[in-house]
Structure 1
Amino acid sequence: MNSRAGQPRQFTGWHMLAIMVAFFGVIIAVNLLMATFANTSWTGLVVQNTYVASQQFNERVAESRAQAALGWKGTLTIAGGEIRYSLNDASGAPVRAESVTTSFRRPAYEAEDWQVTLARKADGTFSATAAVRDGIWIVNTEARMTDGAPYQEARRIVVADGAVK
């Protein structure tokens, strides 16, 4: 009979080294993977120059308050591969705009961002044929009036089955 077969294996320093290398190797590999994902996704860049943006903040707040005082209401609909936008004043009458541009942005991923210029229809609304992918979008709409003044609005929408929900 072999006396060695009944003895348990000894835990040596090499075993401990292998466990420590495997443990920290997994941690380092996961950290590198997460750093790579973070580096290749959203940059976090909102404005090119934060100092310039901070200097324009009060001016933009005043413009948005003046715009809100007009009482205008924009309506955005997306259905059947068509984007439609209409703008009405406080009394419900259509506001005549010269051009309307709509930008679609993902909240945290800029690779899918896109923009479309809407064409004016005979009834005063604006529309364009474009398929909007399902998901959450931040939609910035800018309407230029005949006098050159801009009307801007931003909204967060959810698109499911090609229509706004």
Structure 2
Amino acid sequence: MLLAFFGTVIGVNVYMMKMAISTLPGTEVDSAYSASLGYEKEITAARDQEARRWNVEAHIERGTDGAAVLQVNARDASGKPVSGLKFQGRLERPADKRADQEVALAEVGIGIYRGTAEAIAPGQWDLVLEGDSSGRRMFMSKNRVLLN
């Protein structure tokens, strides 16, 4: 009986450990040290972005088929459309990084960028937008959105 008791306890512990490890979504960054080395660049980029005073609005709508259409309207400080940027969107699941999806945005009008993500589940997502010009990041934002 003693062996059966401890065998059951150990078996359940091994099973629970395997399930916990297999469902672990991972870490935000691989190395906190290497992430900290780039922190000054992030601060400088954020200050430069704030100085530009751009108005970037994003609208995302999820269809009944599960596809989500993302549209971004970018204007400079004087209200003129910002054209010629390479915008990239990313929908990140807050609780499970394995569900993250990239959204390639193409300029469909002057200062209007649009892209589609397939098979987006309903619920909370983090929408990350990055706008680059000549390999230099000009804009970056991260916002929580709720998709029905």
Give the alignment's TM-score, normalised by structure 2.
0.77
Instruction: Give the fraction of aligned pairs with identical amino acids, expressed as a percent.
Output: 28
What is the one-letter code of the residue matched to 1:45?
A: T
Q: Judging changes above 3 Å, is the alpha-carbon distance between structure 1 residues 107 and 73 closer, same or farther for their aligned structure 2 residues?
A: same
Displacement, 1:26? 6.7
Please, what is the CA RMSD of the aligned residues?
A: 2.5
- Structure-2 residue corresponding to 1:3: none
Aligned to 1:41: 23
Query: What amino acid is the match of 1:158?
Result: L
Matches within 5 A, 1:14-163: 21=5, 28=10, 31-79=13-61, 80=63, 81-131=68-118, 132-145=120-133, 147-150=134-137, 151-160=139-148
**What is the aligned partner in structure 2 of residue 11 from structure 1?**
none
Tell me the TM-score normalized by structure 1: 0.71
1:30 deviation in Å? 5.2
The question of whether the paired residues in 1 share the 8 Å contact of 2:83 and 2:110 is answered with no
Shift of residue 39, structure 1, vs aligned partner:
0.7
User: How many angstroms apart in 1 are the aligned matches of 2:15 and 2:78?
Assistant: 56
Report if aligned partners of 2:53, 2:77 keep a CA contact under 8 Å in 1: yes
Higher relative contact order (CA 8 A, sep 6+): 2
Corresponding residue SS for 1:45: coil
Mind listing any 5+ residue stretches in structure 1 that lack a counterpart? 1-13, 161-165
Query: Rg: which structure is higher?
Result: 1
Q: Tell me, in whole angstroms, the C-alpha distance in 2 between the residues paired with 1:43 and 1:86.
A: 33
- Cα deviation code 1:4-52 (max 9, x no counterpart): xxxxxxxxxx7xx69x93xx67765554444233211234322223222
Aligned partners of 1:37 and 1:154: how far apart in 2? 31
CA distance in 2, matches of 1:65, 1:41: 38
Inter-partner Cα distance in structure 1 for 2:84 and 2:12? 53
Structure 1 SS opposite 2:85? strand
Gap runs ≥5 in structure 2: none
